[in-house]
């Protein structure tokens, strides 16, 4: 690897789980696959990733179980937790440059958590500098229309014109209900294939575990910025498969 990668989980639709995906994949890649990761939280209206990191610090400091777990975790890992930078969409790229300049260990991948609005010039500017964009979608008509509109506009106005440096824009299914017919996904994927839109193989199930955070009385860890999701929680979530597929799509220069 000779160049860091800028990546973002992005969609215009609220509640799609962009921040959750960022946390889970960043933690899996940093703590399990041994990539060096950084996260820039640009969503000033929520700053949910920064808030989660601050909450976890408080839990670890106040809870003997998690304090011991964190000590052993980082001792065995041999490196620190990944940095999370609070920013805004306009300053995010400058923060990334500063991070790469000042960090002793240079990140392989920097994830940007951006607000879900394309009405902001700052969001468009930063999004256009992503090497890879991963868009979560669900089998809902309004969700599909919004996602396909975003991908089409981004491709036509930014990628094909050379304004964006994006090498890959890939969609992936989330909130997949096992009771839904596979024909429904096949129909949508046929439409995307005709539109020359890339759809990833990994599908994430509809599961309450994606909303679980580290609490003082909860020992099963899933969504965390300090720890990887536990194997028992990873099983069936497909976060490991999604992370591996993301790495397979990324091409380092």
Tell me the mean pLDDT in the region 128-144: 90
- CA angle at 55 for the pair 66 and 110, rounded to the nearest 5°: 100
Specify the pLDDT at position 39: 98
Here the contacts of 154-157 (C-beta below 8 Å, separation 24 or greater) are 154/127
Specify the pLDDT at position 253: 55
**CA 68 – CA 72 distance, rounded (Å):** 6
In this structure, are residues 131 and 165 in contact, taking their beta carbons and an 8 Å threshold?
yes
Is residue 50 within a helix (H) or strand (E), and if so which, with residue range? helix 48-62
Question: Is the pLDDT at 157 greater than 80, yes or no?
Answer: yes
DSSP H helices, 114-234, are 121-127, 141-154, 182-194, 231-234
The β-bridge partners of 148 are none
Question: Is the pLDDT at 164 greater than 80, yes or no?
Answer: yes
Strand order in the sheet with 168-176: 84-86, 37-41, 109-113, 5-9, 132-137, 168-176, 198-205
Specify the pLDDT at position 206: 82
**Band (139; pLDDT cuts 50, 70, 90):** confident
Specify the pLDDT at position 214: 56
Question: Is the pLDDT at 94 greater than 50, yes or no?
Answer: yes
Question: Is the pLDDT at 194 greater than 70, yes or no?
Answer: yes
Cα distance between the two ends of the chain: 7
pLDDT tens digits, one per residue of 210-219: 766 655 556 6
Mean pLDDT of the chain: 89
**CA 200 – CA 171 distance, rounded (Å):** 6
Question: Is the pLDDT at 90 greater than 90, yes or no?
Answer: yes
Look at the pTM and tell me if it is higher than 0.75. Answer: yes
Residue with tokens 């490196």: 79
Contacts of 60 by beta carbon, 8 Å cutoff, 6+ apart: 66, 67, 70, 226
**Band (1; pLDDT cuts 50, 70, 90):** very low
Q: String of b and e for 18-54 (b: at least 16 CB within 10 Å)?
A: bbbbbbbbbbbbbbbeebbbbbbbbbeeebbbbebbe
pLDDT tens digits, one per residue of 9-68: 998 877 778 899 999 999 999 999 999 999 999 987 776 899 999 999 999 999 998 999
- Domains along the chain with CATH numbers: 5-244 (3.40.50.300)
The full length of the chain comes to 253
Specify the pLDDT at position 213: 60
């Amino acid at each position: 690897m000779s160049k860091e990668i800028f990546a973002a989980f992005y969609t215009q639709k609220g509640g799609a789980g962009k921040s959750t995906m960022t946390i889970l994949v960043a933690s899996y890649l940093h703590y399990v696959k041994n990539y060096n990761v950084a996260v820039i939280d640009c969503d000033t209206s929520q700053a949910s990733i920064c808030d989660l990191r601050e909450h976890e610090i408080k839990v670890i400091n106040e809870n003997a179980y998690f304090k011991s777990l964190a000590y052993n975790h980082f001792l065995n890992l041999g490196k620190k937790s990944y940095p999370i930078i609070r920013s805004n969409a306009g300053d995010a790229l400058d923060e990334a440059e500063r991070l790469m300049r000042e960090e002793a260990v240079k990140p392989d991948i920097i994830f940007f958590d951006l607000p879900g609005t394309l009405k902001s010039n700052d969001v468009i500017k930063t999004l256009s500098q992503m090497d890879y964009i991963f868009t979560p979608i669900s089998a809902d008509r309004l969700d599909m229309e919004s996602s396909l509109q975003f991908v089409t506009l981004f491709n036509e106005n930014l990628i094909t014109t050379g304004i964006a440096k994006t090498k890959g824009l890939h969609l992936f299914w989330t909130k997949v209900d096992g009771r839904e017919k596979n024909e429904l996904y096949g129909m949508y994927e046929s439409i995307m294939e005709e539109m020359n839109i890339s759809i990833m193989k990994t599908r994430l199930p509809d599961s309450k575990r994606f909303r679980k955070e580290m609490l003082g009385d909860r020992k099963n860890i899933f969504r965390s910025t300090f720890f990887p999701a536990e194997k028992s929680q990873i099983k069936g979530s497909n976060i490991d498969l999604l992370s591996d597929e993301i790495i397979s799509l990324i091409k380092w220069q």
